[in-house]
Chains A and B, each alone.
Chain A
Amino acid sequence: MRERVYVQLGACKKHPPAADRPSAILEEPAMPNPIQPSARPASYLYSRHSLPVRLMHWINVISLTVLLMSGLMIFNAHPALNWGQQSYDGKPPLLEITTRETADGHLAGVTRIGGREFETTGVLGLSTGPDGELSRVAFPSWITIPSSYSLADARLWHFFFAWLLVLNGIAYVAYALISRHLQRDLAPTRRDWRGIGQSIRDHVAFRHPKGEAARHYNVLQKLAYLAVIFVLLPLIILAGWAMSPWLNSLWPGWVDLFGGRQSARTIHFIVAWLLVGFVAIHVFEVIVSGMWNHLRSMITGRYRITADPRAEASHE
C-alpha cells in the first residue's frame, strides 16, 4: 500500500533539503510502510510547471502546428528551394517537388533532392485531395491549412500565428529570466555536464530518472530545450523576416547573412523540419516516461514523484 501525500511546493522551486520534506506531508501514512522506515513520502504530487509556462507551452503547440501546416501550403505555391539571392540563377533547385509523366504515360509525383529523383506519388507531388480526386500539389491536403490550395488564406493564417509565436516567445524569455526558471531549471549545472555521457546512455536505453531525480530536467533535455528556445526558434523567425522585402530594406544587405533571400527561405524550411523532429522526440519521451503524469503536469501543473526504491535503499 502506498502513502497518499500531497505537498505544495513552488513551481519548480529549489528542491527542499531532505530534512525539510517531511514537514510538507499533509497526511500521515495510514499504515507504516515496511520498506520505508523514514517518514519520507513514497509518492507525492508537486507543482512542476507554473501557470505562465503551461499557458505559453500550449500557445506554442497551437501556433507551431498552424505555422507548419500553413507554411507547407505557402511552399506549395512554389515547391522548390534554392540557394542564394534568387531562384533563377541557372543552378537547379536543391529540392523540388513536382510531377512528371512516366514512361507508360501516367502522371507521377516526384521529389528531387540534390539531383536525385524519388517517386513520391500519393504523398509528395501528386496526392488525393479533399474532394477525393488526384491533385498536383507538393504537400498533400491533409497536412496543409487550408486543405485546398489557397496561398492568400495560408498567408493570413501564417502571419497571424507567426505574431502569436513571436509575442509568446518574447513573453516566455522575459518570464523565464525574471522568475529565474531559466537559470534554475534550464541552465545545465556543472554536475549535468559531467553526467552527459551517462545521460546519453540512459536515453539510448530508455532509462528514465526516478524519484527525486525526476524533479529536474536531465542534461540532454535541458540542452534540447535551450537549442529550441535560443537557436532554432530565433533562426526560423529571422529567416522568415529575411523573406520580407520591406524588412530587407531596413538595413540593406542584412539578408546576405543567410546567403540571400532564397537561402533564407531554404533555411526557414529546414529549421521547420528540425522543429518537427524536436516535437517528435519530445512527444516520444513524454509517452515513454509517463505520459499522463507529464500531460497532467503541463495542464494542471501537478507532477507525481514516486520514490525510487534503489535510491531509498542506498539511504540506509
Chain B
Amino acid sequence: MSKPAGKRRLKVSPQALAKRRFLSRVALGTGALMLGGCDRLNQSEWFPKVLSAGESLSKSVHHTLGGRRSMAQEFSEKDLSPSFRGNGNTDPESADYKAMAEQGFAGWKLKVDGLVDQPASFSLAELRAMPSRTQITRHDCVEGWSAIGKWTGVPLAQLLAAVRPKPDARFVVFHCADTFDDDNGAVPYYESIDMDDAYHPQTILAYGLNGADLPVTNGAPLRLRVERQLGYKQAKYVMRLELVEHFRQIGGGKGGYWEDQGYQWYAGI
C-alpha cells in the first residue's frame, strides 16, 4: 500500500528528475544485462546449475504424472516417413565395426553384464528367436524434427529376465560402436536409462526398421527404442549392456555422450 505523501512536492522536482534518470538507467541496464549478461551468466559455474532446476522439476513432475507405464502414441502404416532420417553418426568408422557389417553382423554378439546374476551374450539370431514387439512410433530429435518409423525388436524386459539384474542395479548403460571425435580422440557413444524405462513395454532393442533389417544409417545391428524420450537416448550400434548402480565412472560421468556435452540426462522434454 502506498503511504500518503503529505507535504511531498510532486512537481518535476530535482528528486523526480533523479528518479527518471534512475528509471532510464534501470531500463538501459536491463537491456545491457539481457544482451551481454546472459552470455556471462551462461559461462558461469553456478548459473547453469540454477537453470537445471527447471529440468529436474520437469522430470519429477513428468514421472509423477506419467508413472512407470504411460504409453507413447503408436501410429499406423500410412503415417510412416517415406525414409527414416539418420542423424548423429550414420556410419561408424571403427575397423571392427566395418568388418562385422561386411559379414552382415554374423559374428556380432550383444554382451550383457554388470550387476546381473547371469552375464550373457546374445547373437543376432538368438535375439530374433526371442518373442518380439513391433511398434510404429514417432522419433523426436532434440533439434526439433520428428520422423515416424516401424521398429521391430526384442523387449529389453525379456533380456533382463534372462540375465536377472541384482537388486542394486539402477541403470542400464548402452555401450555403442560409434564414436565422436574431439580433442581427446575418438569418444565412444553411450547412453543410460533407469529400470522403470528398462522394463517399460515399449522399450525394445530393435533389429528391424519398416519391415527390413535395421540399416547401418539407423544403428545396425541393434538400437535402443525408449519411446518416451528424445532421439539422443535411442542409442544406435549397441554392443554391450551394462547394469550399474550409478554411472559416475562411465565416460564423462553424466550418463551419456550428449549428457557429457551438457544435454540433460532426462530427455522426456
Contacts and interface: CB of A to CB of B under 8 A. Distances in A.
Interface of A: 2, 4, 6-8, 11, 26-27, 45, 47, 65-66, 69, 74-75, 77-78, 80, 85-90, 130, 142, 145-148, 150-153, 155-157, 159-163, 243-250, 252-253, 255, 261-262, 265, 292, 295-296, 299-302, 304
Most B CB contacts (10 A, CB to CB) among A75, A151, A159, A295 go to A159
Interface of B: 1-11, 20, 23, 34-35, 38-39, 42, 48, 50-55, 57-58, 62, 65-66, 70-75, 79, 81-85, 138, 140-148, 227-230, 258, 261-264, 268-269
Contacts of A2: 11
A80 B73 CA distance: 23
A138 to B, nearest CB: 11
14 contacts: A4-B9, A6-B10, A8-B4, A26-B6, A74-B144, A77-B142, A145-B42, A146-B39, A147-B39, A156-B48, A157-B51, A243-B144, A244-B268, A252-B71
B74 A252 contact: yes
Contacts of B9: 4
Nearest to B59: A246
Given A88-B82, A156-B54, A244 B143 contact: no
The 8 closest A-B pairs by CB, nearest first: A246-B268, A160-B54, A152-B262, A78-B144, A159-B54, A87-B145, A77-B143, A249-B70
Given A6-B6, A159-B55, A246 B228 contact: yes
Contacts of A11: 1
A246 B138 contact: no
Nearest to A248: B73
Contacts of B51: 156-157, 159-160
Nearest to A247: B62
A255 B1 CA distance: 45
Contacts of A156: 48, 51-52, 54-55, 262, 264
Most A CB contacts (10 A, CB to CB) among B5, B20, B230, B263 go to B5
A65 B268 contact: no
B228 A162 contact: no
A8 B143 CA distance: 53
Contacts, number: 182
B10 A4 contact: yes
Given A26-B6, A153-B48, A304-B10, 5 more contacts: A80-B145, A86-B148, A244-B58, A245-B227, A261-B138
A87 B83 CA distance: 11
Nearest to A269: B144
Nearest to A2: B11
Contacts of A295: 23
Contacts of B263: 151-152, 155
Contact of B83 (A47, A69, A88, A159): A88
A162 B71 contact: no
Contact of B230 (A145, A245, A262): A245
A307 B3 CA distance: 22
Contact of A159 (B38, B72, B269): B269
B141 A78 contact: yes
Contacts of A88: 81-85, 145-147
B5 A146 contact: no
Given A88-B85, A249-B71, A261-B140, A244 B62 contact: yes
A148 B43 CA distance: 11
B147 A86 contact: yes
A296 to B, nearest CB: 8
Given A47-B1, A160-B51, A89 B82 contact: yes
Contacts of B81: 86, 88-89
